[in-house]
Amino acid sequence: MMKRLMRYLLFGTLIPALVLFALIGCTTTTATKSTAESDESEDAAETMTMEIVQQWTLSKHSLVVTRAAGEEGCKNCHDGFVFAMTGGGFQPRRPATDSPSPTETDASTEDSVDTEPIRDFMVATDCRVCHTGAGAEIADAGTVDQIPSIEIAKGGLGAVCMACHNGWHAAGKGTEGELTAPHNSVQTDMLYGLNTVDPGIESTVSAADRESPHLKVENTCVGCHVTGSGTEEPNHTFGVKDYKGCERAECHEQDMTQGGTAEEDFDGDGTKEKVAAEIEGLGETLKAAIEARASTFESAHGQIVFTGGAKPDDATYAAAYNYLFVQKDRSKGIHNTAFTIELLNRSIQAVGGTASAGAATTSTP
């Protein structure tokens, strides 16, 4: 009887102990699993961050154009730290300040002077440009102002790109007759088909038709160069990888590498090539016609400089400006193919060149 009682007492003590041990084990296992999942999530996030940084280092945005980053006006776009405060623009879209706004502090800050913090270094176009401060505000709004000839540019997330990738000044000669050159990043102007110089040849394209179909892409620049670049993850080299992102039902159905195969022989060399090659051929025709009419030329310090100080007539200046405009867009006509073809064709005619039958066509792939 005593042995049976001891057995019951033993089981009565052991079972609760086993249950308690099991509960502790389950809790520990669950906690360990949760911790492991959390670690895996953190590791994945860290890996993605490193990949993004590695991609960014391959982009031109990781480089500082020191001359521009050190000049008034220019630094609003060329210094990432300044852009995050000002939102870019040759005239800053909002004042730079080294103090919190009065609404965030006490009244003692109300008399602080808007000023930019003094630093002994410049910052590239890094994460802060798009993801903090003024850049984040522009992205949230999806629009940006202060672009010549464009009251409000609508770009979704791409509005952040448009804030700096524009001509920032009106096209044409300066107030004292300076042979002004287009800015080095006129992508927004190209998308809208604006801010070129009239070469004196009537345009066959209406103002509405000058706009690129790419303005209809969701988030414009970002929709092609970041999230639609043919990669599964956001692409921070900002270069279109393999053009697979272009092959969407609502966009293109053919291989769009280098703009896809052109519908016409636009440059008149007897071969129907990729759009980029056709545009390049048209550009070479225009450049040769300008040089035959005046002299060789280049863009230097915001001016178009002709060899030997040659003074071009208005048509030659317009043609040179438009040639450089297409070059500085850097898409080889892909951003706005129809507009580019028509602009180059009119400019060729203005300087006495002969446009091919194909080049006179303004259709686009």
| Cα separation, 209 vs 336, whole angstroms | 10
Phi/psi at 180 (nearest 5 deg)?
-60, 140
> How distant, in Å, are the alpha carbons of 244, 275, 365 from that of 255?
8, 12, 11
Per-residue pLDDT, 264:
93
Per-residue pLDDT, 104:
40
Indicate whether 290 pLDDT > 80. yes
Q: What is the pLDDT of residues 269-289, one digit of tens each?
A: 999 999 999 999 999 999 999
Indicate whether 197 pLDDT > 70. yes
Indicate whether 163 pLDDT > 90. yes
Which amino acid is present at 276? A
Lowest mean pLDDT among 24-38, 77-91, 272-286, 320-334: 24-38
* DSSP per position, 67-97: HHHTSTTTHHHHSHHHHHHH-STTTTSS---
What b/e readout covers 157-166, taking b as 16+ CB neighbours within 10 angstroms? Answer: bbbbbbbbbb
More confident residue, 167 or 242: 167
Indicate whether 16 pLDDT > 70. no
Segment 36-50 mean pLDDT: 69
Per-residue pLDDT, 118:
58
Round to the nearest angstrom and report the end-to-end CA distance of the chain.
Answer: 98
Per-residue pLDDT, 49:
83
CA 51 vs. chain centroid, Å, equals: 19
Average pLDDT, the chain: 82
Q: What is the pLDDT of residues 51-89, one digit of tens each?
A: 899 999 999 999 998 889 989 889 999 999 999 999 998
CA neighbor of 160 nearest in space, from 229, 238, 59, 216:
238
Which amino acid is present at 141? A
Tokens of 333: 């006509």
Q: Taking the model in full, what pTM does it have?
A: 0.81
- Do 154 and 216 form a contact (C-beta atoms < 8 A)? no
Per-residue pLDDT, 92:
85
